[in-house]
Structure 1
Amino acid sequence: MSLADQVLAVNDDLPIRTDKPVHSGKVRSVYWLTEADSRRLIKEKGYNVQPDAPLAIMVISDRISAFDCIWHGEEGMKGVPGKGAALNAISNHWFKLFRENGLADSHILDIPHPFVWIVQKAKPIKIEAICRQYITGSMWRAYANGEREFCGINVPEGLEKDQKLPELLITPSTKGILEGIPDVPAVDDVNISRKNIEDNYAAFNFSSVDDIARYETLLKDGFGVISNALAKLDQIFVDTKFEFGYVTDAQGNDKLIYMDEVGTPDSSRIWEGAAYREGKIVENSKEDFRQLLLNHFPDPDILLNKDRMDERSALARDNALPQEVLMQVSKVYTSIAEKITGKKITLSENPKAEIINILRDEYDLID
């Protein structure tokens, strides 16, 4: 069996029973279950949701995206072996830790397979909730160009690249293009201040102005839980993105929950502690892959300049990366997952067939 066979690249063609179009993102595909199947599973499995709550099957893939493009390798490798299982395992671990620490639930109700979550429909907060403990990446680039105000927060002079910030910073940005919000440009991923959110909380899908403080608390406390756990492994939690939404539980209580993924190498920067103390940065996150791409192509501006998106898409489409590049990325993802969870990430021989069998035999969701 070739490595390419062990990669789940296409995840939107599973024969899961649904009466809605499959929503396929950069990495995950979402299958909304029929109303009858949602009601049946809620009853059979005792999920803590309303009896008529819409449920979905969320299937992760091994695809890798960077700079808003999907990348592929030589010899038919359409993704990174072990990446999907590693991401899910890490998120599952942190979501469980959040619950144990009394923070909040997540959108996940059940985990039938390492690639699969059964989730409840949530009303998403339209914010990419970003927390930063160190100055690096886009924030450092802006700081080096003279910017000192980030999302309404003033940052002191004299900071150096990759140093720890005086305090944990919340630097939110928009999720999707939001029209008609004063002082917020209608473009995806634009930085916003707390005042922007307070003045227009309903436009960002907050139920009340008080929930802004609640989301900030969940963000900071969640960051703290992960940061402390990683510190015990001599790993540094540099920065991360969380997403939040509202759901209603079986008793009719509306609650703010964590959703999407948390504390993964895709959504966070994680550095090796020992290397950092020696003045070096060793990434245990997707940033390593981004840097690799920037070094691999002769004109890195194509990857950094949003005005050159057509050229960037062509670059990703027309260039198969060397297989060793994708295997190096695989090692980063699986190694950090195994460190965090204490469990081995095993490559499935045929992940698609496994998923279909489980969803057929244990959940009766395959036509």
Structure 2
Amino acid sequence: MNLADKVLAVNNDLPIRTHAPVHSGKVRSVYWLTAEDSARLIEEKGYEVPADTPLAIMVISDRISAFDCVWHGEGGIQGVPGKGAALNAISNHWFKLFKEHGLADSHILDIPHPFVWIVQKAKPVKIEAIARQYITGSMWRAYEKGEREFCGIEIADGLDRDQKLPELLITPSTKGILTGIDGVPAQDDVNITRKNIEDNFAAFNFASVADIALYEKLLKDGFSLISGELAKLDQIFVDTKFEFGYVKDKAGNDKLIYMDEVGTPDSSRIWDGEQYRQGNIVENSKEGFRQLLLSYFPDPDILLNKDRMDEREALARDNALPEEVLMQVSKTYVGIAEKITGETIVISDNPKAEIVEILSKDYGLID
């Protein structure tokens, strides 16, 4: 079978019954179910949510984005084989452990297929929180230029690149454009301080000031749990992105949960422990793909300079990456997923057909 056929690149054209437009992000597409189908599935499957909860089908893809662009390969390969299944498997693993350790639930109610989640509607907290254990990436670049304050937190002089920080650093930024907040520009992805959040907790969708401390606890406990588990595999959890939201429990009460994805090679940096001790950085995450792109193209400034976005989009559109590059990325994603979960990631011959069959036969959601 052609390798391109094994890649699920387009995931917003499935015949899932919905009355709303399909929302498609860089990697996932979301299909909001009808009120009738939501209520039916809640009853049939026994989901622990109120009977009138809106449900959605979330379908991951094998697309790969970096530097705010989606990349493709030779031979019509529109993504990375095995990437979607690997990402979902890793998130599923961590979400399950979080629940088992009494941290918090996630938005996922059911996993019909390796590419598919059934989720309940959540009210997202409008913060993207990066938890950093090491100084690297954009933080190192700013530090090297003399910056010492990050999101209102002072960092000591004398740190080296890729060094472990004295303590876990939480650097939140806005998720989406928020207006009318003093000292916070109306732009997406702007760094903010804890005081910004406290003074405007409702604007960030927190139910109370007290929930800010809960959010911070879930951040730190979640990071610590993943870090400890990865250490057993001699992998270093460098930094990661967390997102949170509110859902209703069965009694109709609000509860703060983890959402989006967690601890994946897309949302985190993961380094090989043995190589790090030898002074080398070997990435087991998307950062390796970013570095590869920076060395592949003759002018890396196009990828790093936000003022050259038109040129960057042209690079991604007009350059098909060699198949061996995408297969190397596949090896990274599948390899770290199998390490973390202890299970084999199967690359499906035709993921779209499998998804349609399962959602039709077992869930009655295909027209």
- Same-fold status (TM-score > 0.5): yes
Alpha-carbon shift at residue 264 of structure 1 (Å): 0.1
In structure 2, what residue type is equivalent to 1:45? K
| Secondary structure of residue in 1 paired with 2:291 | helix
Equivalent residues in 2 for 1:188-227 (5 A)?
188-227=188-227
Residues 3-53 of structure 1: CA deviation (Å, up to 9, x unaligned)? 110000000000000000000000000000000000000011111111101
Q: Say yes or no: does 1:304 pair with 2:309.
A: no
Residues 310-358 of structure 1: CA deviation (Å, up to 9, x unaligned)? 1111110000001110000000000000000000001101000000000
Q: Say yes or no: does 1:252 pair with 2:252.
A: yes
Alpha-carbon shift at residue 246 of structure 1 (Å): 0.2
Residues 107-165 of structure 1: CA deviation (Å, up to 9, x unaligned)? 00000000000000000000001100000000000000000000000000000000000
Q: Percent identity?
A: 81
CA–CA separation in structure 2 for the residues paired with 1:306 and 1:181: 24
Aligned residue in 1 for 2:48: 48
Alpha-carbon shift at residue 176 of structure 1 (Å): 1.2
Equivalent residues in 2 for 1:1-367 (5 A)?
1-367=1-367
CA–CA separation in structure 1 for the residues paired with 2:136 and 2:50: 43
CA–CA separation in structure 2 for the residues paired with 1:124 and 1:3: 37
CA–CA separation in structure 2 for the residues paired with 1:198 and 1:309: 34
TM-score normalised by structure 1 residue count: 1.00
CA–CA separation in structure 2 for the residues paired with 1:77 and 1:310: 23
In structure 2, what residue type is equivalent to 1:326? L
In structure 1, what residue type is equivalent to 2:230? L
Regions of 4+ moved over 4 Å = none
RMSD of aligned residue pairs (Cα, Å): 0.5
Alpha-carbon shift at residue 251 of structure 1 (Å): 1.3
In structure 2, what residue type is equivalent to 1:99? K
CA–CA separation in structure 2 for the residues paired with 1:192 and 1:2: 47
CA–CA separation in structure 1 for the residues paired with 2:2 and 2:330: 15
| Secondary structure of residue in 1 paired with 2:161 | coil
TM-score normalised by structure 2 residue count: 1.00
**Consecutive unaligned residues in structure 1, runs of 5 or more:** none
| Secondary structure of residue in 2 paired with 1:172 | strand
CA–CA separation in structure 2 for the residues paired with 1:351 and 1:275: 35
| Secondary structure of residue in 2 paired with 1:355 | helix
